[in-house]
Structure 1
Amino acid sequence: MRWRKARLPGWPFPNRSAVQQERAPLARDLRPVIPGIRRRKPRSVPRVMLVQPGARHNYALARFLNRHDMLQRLYTDFALGTGHPFRRLSHLPLPAGVKAKLNRRATDALPARMIRSGVNVALPGARRHTLRPPSARDVAASDGFYLQYFTDGPELRARAPGKPIISDVFIVPGAYRAVDREVADFPDWGEAPTPPDLARRYDTHSLAMFEQSDVLFCPSQAVIDDVTGYGAAFAQKCRLVPYGASLRASVGTPEPGRVLFCGSLHLRKGVHYIRAAADMLRASHPHIRFVFAGGGSTVMRAKLVAPNVELLGHLGKAELMREFARADLFLFPSLAEGAAGTVLEAMASGLPIVATREGGVDFTDGTSGIVLPPRDPQAIADAVVRIVEDRALRAALSAGATREAEAYSMAAWEARFIAAVSDVF
């Protein structure tokens, strides 16, 4: 006959005897004085909760924190870490759009247990979605919070008033003002001004972020300058922590006169000023072509059509890499960014940069490219002609862009970010 082992009094730990259960508290109390009993080491790095809607940079910040054992949890709307059961769906015959979304939200560098996904809908049809509230356990275990543009900031400030909040100001806070100015000046380009109520909400949220955050991480000097426009005192909270790019340096064979722009076709990106520059050069420099890689509205695309303009539409990564290899230089006269990743990718591809400071990348003027004043098609035309016609200058700027791109590699970004976060704590 087979006898079943009786349940011991110390039921939560059935493999321990009752005597062992009684001795356990005593052993814990005597750990500091009894040789041979291991003590738990105090943490040498902070634990940071990251709140991030969307998959910005493919969750790079969460991956950085996790690699350094600093991530308490990532709270986001939808992410698939390793071990998530939805990862298996990508092998099923799903619609291409569904597969693409699953792939965009998948990350192999984060285990699923470190991610809390999900949204709450305030009211049916209200179009107001909020992330899942952080658990009380995660709030208590976190030494502080890193928030994308102060997402859930007021709630976390109320729940943990003594813990530091770092807000990532990933775009110029007053970007909508730049858009409204262009809409007023170019009313027939198919864009609408920001509704007044939405503009007030933008400013209210931005001011709450500036006032309640302990530190503001800004990816470019343009962002810092705009933040200080809301109040000179906020400059003390700003830290310049530039982003990086995952593209490795790969210099192609340029086609002289092929000028590449990459980004969505909106007035904020300055595409209408590129169109004006193209008109200036059409007769005098017919070999110069302006190539737009990016999607846009029907009205916008119609406005950009010209004999020396190519509209490629939205490109996949492989197609975009081929365009980087063909381009002679990269043009980005944006009026309001945080840090344009396409500029960093162009630098890594060895392309001379012709861009505004408002484009969000603080490249060295005269070494990696030419800095443009905003809203100046004549300056665009002059810079393009100067580089295209002077091949020695083009070669020097290309080499400078490749060298400077090393400061924006993923490894450099990770080291910069981790050092900045550690400094806060």
Structure 2
Amino acid sequence: MTRCGFGEATHMYSMLGECGPLFAAGKQRGLTVVTEIYIPLSTERILAEERRNFPDWEPDTPDFAAIRRERGSENAVLTLTDFAICPSEAARDDLVQNFGFPRERTAIVPYGVNPELLSVRNEPVRGRVLFAGTAELRKGIHYFAMAAEKLAARGLHYEFRVAGNVQRSVASQKHCRCLTFLGRVPRVEVAREFAAADLFVLPSLAETGPEVNYEALACGVPVVTTPEARAIVRDGIDGRIVPSRDPEALADAITEMIEDRQGRKRMSHAARERARDFTWERYGERLVGALKSFAARQTQP
């Protein structure tokens, strides 16, 4: 494409450094580069700390140096970037506070959810707690497991289900003995898991806008999550936001929401109504609006 030219294009949309040489060439030719921050730039630092604290959970670590060689360093990517699309406040805060990117050159565009999930009928199995996604440190699987242990010690024998890929090094941890690992689950089966879930929990440490939180809300399942992963979840309305790395607070929130059936019912209704404003169509509208606002800023004196 670089050899063929960019035609009449004025802008390029980058997924956080992918096709770096192409975007560098476009930048040299005067195109405006918009980068979507689909994962926090601080993820490597966060995971390095977590792996030091839990060294036997993920012995095979990603080769971040190789990834950086392929996509470019964070600073190289941001040097090319004129404007940044962030799926959440957490993503923007990380970009601005930890990497010095100008806040005025960012826009928050929350993701969207498949509208078909809005018709999923949630008939919760009382005490069934669902975690969906890869069972890894980044998503807080170890804190989910510790919270389950704490609740079992309190005599609260809820059911903790994990739908997603899992390494043996994780599944074999003693902390995980209260978890049921389902393995990788087809999308249609995930919808069935949401339909029977009493609660969805995602205690992630590094996220921008996890799709599973949107999906849970769309299915009418209240969400317990962290500030890093909250995206569109509202504390006390359609879910609970608890501090990351705090299994005690996580266990307390799970108990509160399961035992308060009227409160859980209210949150379930609020969750589905919240998701109606975050469909794929609304995502497209917000994204186009953000791109137009960027273009308008460029024309201002």
Instruction: Give me the TM-score of the superposition, normalised by structure 2.
Output: 0.89
Kept after mapping to 1: 8 A contact 2:146/2:176:
no
**What are the equivalent positions in structure 2 for 1:146-165 lying under 5 Å apart?**
146-159=13-26, 160-165=28-33
Kept after mapping to 1: 8 A contact 2:139/2:204:
yes
**3-state SS of the aligned residue for 2:240?**
strand
- Indicate the RMSD between aligned Cα atoms, in angstroms: 2.2
In 2: Cα distance, 1:239 partner to 1:398 partner:
29
**3-state SS of the aligned residue for 1:239?**
strand
Given the superposition, is the C-alpha separation of residues 188 and 356 from structure 1 closer, same or farther in structure 2, using an over 3 Å criterion?
same
In 2: Cα distance, 1:225 partner to 1:203 partner:
22
Find the counterpart in structure 2 of residue 361 from structure 1: 231
Rg comparison, structure with higher value: 1
Kept after mapping to 2: 8 A contact 1:301/1:311:
yes
Kept after mapping to 2: 8 A contact 1:350/1:402:
yes
In 1: Cα distance, 2:155 partner to 2:20 partner:
52
Deviation at 1:307, TM superposition (A): 5.5
**3-state SS of the aligned residue for 1:188?**
coil
Find the counterpart in structure 1 of residue 9 from structure 2: 142
Find the counterpart in structure 2 of residue 185 from structure 1: 53
String of CA shifts for 1:50-82, please: whole Å, max 9, x gaps: xxxxxxxxxxxxxxxxxxxxxxxxxxxxxxxxx
Which deviates the most, 323-332 or 156-165?
156-165
AA at the equivalent of 1:248 = L
Given the superposition, is the C-alpha separation of residues 396 and 213 from structure 1 closer, same or farther in structure 2, using an over 3 Å criterion?
same
In 2: Cα distance, 1:183 partner to 1:306 partner:
17
In 2: Cα distance, 1:148 partner to 1:354 partner:
28
In 2: Cα distance, 1:421 partner to 1:235 partner:
15
Given the superposition, is the C-alpha separation of residues 136 and 203 from structure 1 closer, same or farther in structure 2, using an over 3 Å criterion?
closer
Aligned-pair identity (%): 31
Highest relative contact order (Cα 8 Å, sep 6+), 1 or 2? Answer: 2
**What are the equivalent positions in structure 2 for 1:232-251 lying under 5 Å apart?**
232-246=100-114, 247-249=116-118, 250-251=120-121
In 2: Cα distance, 1:150 partner to 1:401 partner:
34
In 2: Cα distance, 1:203 partner to 1:231 partner:
17
Q: Is 1:208 matched with 2:76?
A: yes
Question: How many pairs align?
Answer: 292
Instruction: Give me the TM-score of the superposition, normalised by structure 1.
Output: 0.64
String of CA shifts for 1:157-192, please: whole Å, max 9, x gaps: 444532211111111011111111111001121334
Find the counterpart in structure 2 of residue 59 from structure 1: none
AA at the equivalent of 2:112 = G
Q: 2:247 aligns with which of 377, 380, 393?
A: 377
Structure 2 gaps of 5+ residues are 296-301
String of CA shifts for 1:236-264, please: whole Å, max 9, x gaps: 32211111111431232001100000000
Find the counterpart in structure 1 of residue 220 from structure 2: 350
Given the superposition, is the C-alpha separation of residues 195 and 150 from structure 1 closer, same or farther in structure 2, using an over 3 Å criterion?
closer
Deviation at 1:235, TM superposition (A): 2.2
Deviation at 1:230, TM superposition (A): 3.5
In 2: Cα distance, 1:360 partner to 1:201 partner:
31
Kept after mapping to 2: 8 A contact 1:149/1:167:
yes
Kept after mapping to 2: 8 A contact 1:176/1:199:
no
**What are the equivalent positions in structure 2 for 1:93-172 lying under 5 Å apart?**
133-134=1-2, 136-137=4-5, 139-159=6-26, 160-172=28-40
Find the counterpart in structure 2 of residue 227 from structure 1: 95
Kept after mapping to 1: 8 A contact 2:163/2:182:
yes
Deviation at 1:313, TM superposition (A): 0.7
In 1: Cα distance, 2:231 partner to 2:192 partner:
22
Q: Is 1:417 matched with 2:287?
A: yes
Find the counterpart in structure 2 of residue 341 from structure 1: 211
AA at the equivalent of 2:189 = E
Deviation at 1:411, TM superposition (A): 1.3
AA at the equivalent of 1:156 = F
AA at the equivalent of 1:148 = M
Given the superposition, is the C-alpha separation of residues 178 and 418 from structure 1 closer, same or farther in structure 2, using an over 3 Å criterion?
same
Find the counterpart in structure 1 of residue 299 from structure 2: none
AA at the equivalent of 2:268 = S
Kept after mapping to 1: 8 A contact 2:203/2:229:
yes
Q: Is 1:275 matched with 2:142?
A: no
In 2: Cα distance, 1:337 partner to 1:205 partner:
19
AA at the equivalent of 1:243 = Y
Structure 1 gaps of 5+ residues are 1-132
